[in-house]
Amino acid sequence: MRLTEARVAIRPRNPWEAVDLGVLLARQHRRLLMTSWAIVTLPIFALLTVLLWDYPSAAVLLFWWLKPAYERLPLLILSQALFGAAPSLKEALKAWPRALKPQLLASLTWRRFSLSRSFNLPVQQLEGLDGLLRAQRIALLGQRNLRVVRCLTSMGSTLEMCFWIGLMLLFYALIPQQVELDWSWRSLLEIESGWNWLEHLTNAFYALVLIVWEPIYVSCGFALYLNRRTTLEGWDIELAFRRLRQRLVGSAYALLLGVSLVFSFSPSTAMADDTVDESNYSCPLPPLDLPQTEEQLAAPGTARLLSQPLNSEASQSAIKAVLDSPPFKNPKAVSGWRLSDQKRDAKTAKNGDTSQWLTRLVLILLNIGKTLSSVFEALLWTAIALAVAWVTWRYRGWFGTFVSRDTRKPQVRRDAPRQLFGLQVDIESLPDDVASAAEKLWPEAPREALSLLYRALLNRLLTDYQLPLKNADTEGQVLERVAALNQPPLHDFSRELTRHWQNLAYGHQLPASEVQNDLCEGWRRLFTRGAAT
């Protein structure tokens, strides 16, 4: 065992931390530990199952009873892995029978129920102690650790149970429902040899759980043992001392060797001695300027280094000045209103009164618990109602968007265009009575009058009939949309008006005078009457 080759950081830990180190140790070598454990235990479990097929509980009990025998294998692996490379799987399995022999009977009988099993195992397996010596050694090592060791074992058994039941539940949850129907509990409770396989299956779960947990358990006990020895024997100190020795003596040897090589050619040996002497001091000692007593040296507040231009007081004040200036301190004046102390006092006094009054009130109210319960009920319901109301109000937009009961696609409300193919069609640009305005305009400016009528029609189509007219639509397309509305009078009127408007606008053909009458009357018939009714 060479401490300098230890694969874990050696330092005294508290026992709980030592257990954690054990978990980490087992985690580092988990593949080797779990494989070797499985290779050893699973055949034994299978053998026991076959031999005791009719007694499943006895099989698992025996398997459980033999645990200390298997536990020697992980310890064997861990003890080698700690101070060097871990053994290979084959080496470990070969070494196991040899580690099994000593004190096997004791481990399996009167020491089987010891709660500090994993902690005692290294003493008997690695130190090879037995009888009185072993008892003394365990008493010495276990002085502060026994409580933790017992906690470890009891938690371990609880954990095994939890994992075991957990695995069974998981297995039960994964059975398809059709199969599950046949497994009524009555038939399970009946003592039938047909159900033995199920019990053996649950026993197998226990063997699986042990593969995961037992190496960790052994490793934790081993780590506790190591930790106790580290504290008792100062392993960490030895390690640091050995490194120090390596650093100083190792380098001094090299230097000595070099020096002797150089001076072996020179006749003067006295000079060589001098050089060696100097080389021993890797750093000269600082000169002590004043012979002072220990007390004076120690007191941190006293002025020191008084015989030089920059003494300790001056340097301290300089340091303070630097520390008080901006990069280290940024003083800032903050002004504001605060409660005066007088008022605060008055307030606390008032609070004291209130609490006294409250206690009396609570005492009275507790006597009429029934009333209070209804009051509280009402308050709670109010609170819930308020909360719901607040939530609804706060997220009304969200509700409107996502929880709308209206499944129809909501009407897309678009802004009606104010202009269509260069014509003003918004309501502000039109007179109230379109027909009369057109009649009035007709004698002087028939073009404006017809344009007015057409614009008014477009406006009505946009606003009253909500036609999605676009700037790019032609007059013909507008007519098609009107036709799609399936309103013959409107369609007829629109077609007439559009024809005359196109003739005038593009062909410069004035419509006949009776057309004016027709159109204005048609307009009145369609819109003014519609508006009146």
Partner 1 sequence: MSPSHAWPSNAAQPAPLDTRVRMETPEGIDLVLRPAGLLSRSLAFAIDLLIRGALLVALFYLLHAFGEFGTGIFVLALFLINWWYMVLFEVLHQGRTPGKQLLGLRVVHDDGTPVGWSASLLRNLLRFVDMLPFGYSVGAFACLQHPFFKRLGDLAAGTLVIYRDAPTARPVLPQVPAIVAPVVLTLEEQRAVLSFAERQDSLSAARAQELAGILIAPLQMPANMPPEQALSQLNGIARGLAGSA
* 13-72 binders of partner 1 (CB under 8 A): 13-14, 16-17, 19-21, 23-25, 27-28
Count the residues of the shown chain that bind partner 1, applying the rule CB under 8 A: 76
Interface characters, 347-366, with partner 1 (x: CB under 8 A): -------------------x
Q: Which is nearer to partner 1, 155 or 388 (CB)?
A: 155
Q: Quote the least distance from Cβ 262 to partner 1, whole Å.
A: 22
Beta carbon of residue 233, minimum distance to partner 1 (angstroms, whole number): 6
Element (H, E) at 495: helix 488-507
Q: Find the part of the chain contacting partner 1 (CB under 8 A) among 87-95, 381-389, 459-467, 501-509.
A: 87-95
Rounded to the nearest whole angstrom, what is the least distance from the CB of residue 155 to partner 1 in the complex? 6
Kindly list the distances between the CA atom of residue 111 and the CA atoms of 99, 114, 131, in Å, as whole numbers in the listed order.
17, 5, 12
Identify the residue among 31, 57, 91, 489 touching partner 1 (CB under 8 A). 91
Q: Measured from the CB of residue 110, what is the shortest distance to partner 1 in angstroms?
A: 26
Which of 9, 334, 403, 412 forms a contact with partner 1 (CB under 8 A)?
9
Residue 227 buriedness (CB in 10 A; 0-12 / 13-18 / 19+): buried
Distances from the Cα of 250 to the Cα of 25, 243, 254, 402, angstroms = 32, 10, 6, 79
Q: Which of 260, 275, 280, 351 binds partner 1 (CB under 8 A)?
A: 280
Residue 104, number of CB atoms within 10 A of its CB: 13
Instruction: Report if residue 445 touches partner 1, rule: CB under 8 A.
Output: no
Helix (H) or strand (E) holding 293: none
Q: Which is nearer to partner 1, 172 or 395 (CB)?
A: 172
CB of 20 to partner 1, least distance (A): 3
Nearer to partner 1, 66 or 259 (CB): 259
Query: Using the rule CB under 8 A, is 281 a contact of partner 1?
Result: yes
**Residue 531: CA count within 13 A, CB half-sphere:** 10
Identity of residue 520: C
CA distance 152 to 21: 13
Comparison of 96 and 527: residue with beta carbon closer to partner 1: 96
Q: Least distance from C-beta 22 to partner 1, angstroms? A: 9
Q: Are strands 419-420 and 423-424 parallel, antiparallel or unpaired?
A: antiparallel
Three-state DSSP at 163 gives helix
Residue with tokens 């001091």: 281
Q: Which is nearer to partner 1, 80 or 429 (CB)?
A: 80
Q: How far is the CB of 285 from partner 1 (least distance, A)?
A: 7
Segment 159 to 178, residues that bind partner 1, using CB under 8 A = 159, 161-163, 165-166, 169-170, 173
DSSP 392-421: HHHTHHHHHHHS-S--SPPP---PPPSEET
Min dist. Cβ of residue 124 to partner 1 (A)? 16
Judged by CB under 8 A, the chain residues 285 through 314 that form the site for partner 1 are 285, 294-295, 297-298
Q: Is 304 helix (H, G, I), strand (E, B) or coil?
A: coil
Determine the Cα–Cα distance for residues 229 and 126; give it in Å rounded to an integer: 13
Name the minimum Å distance from CB 273 to partner 1: 15
Find out whether 165 and 158 touch, Cβ atoms under 8 Å.
Answer: no
Among 242, 344, 418, 495, the residue binding partner 1 under the rule CB under 8 A is 242
- Give the nearer residue to partner 1 in terms of CB position, either 318 or 375: 375
d(CA 352, CA 346): 10
Please state, in angstroms and rounded to a whole number, the distance separating the CA atoms of residues 469 and 488.
19
What's the chain's length in residues?
533
Interacting residue with partner 1 among 373, 392, 513, 517 (CB under 8 A): 373
| Start-to-end Cα distance in the chain | 111
CB of 266 to partner 1, least distance (A): 25
**Tokens 């901006």, residue?**
326
Site for partner 1 in 189-218 (CB under 8 A): 212, 216
The residue among 249 and 322 lying less far from partner 1, judged by its C-beta, is 249
The one segment of 332-340, 372-380, 470-478, 524-532 that binds partner 1 by CB under 8 A: 372-380
How many Cβ atoms sit within 10 Å of the Cβ of residue 143? 10
Stretch that binds partner 1, among 76-84, 116-124, 310-318, 459-467 (CB under 8 A): 76-84
244 binds partner 1 (CB under 8 A): yes
Nearer to partner 1, 154 or 354 (CB): 154
d(CA 166, CA 168): 5
Cα–Cα distance for residue pair 212/93, rounded to 1 Å: 18
CA dist 488 and 500 (Å) reads: 18
The footprint of partner 1 on residues 125-154 (CB under 8 A) is 148, 151-152
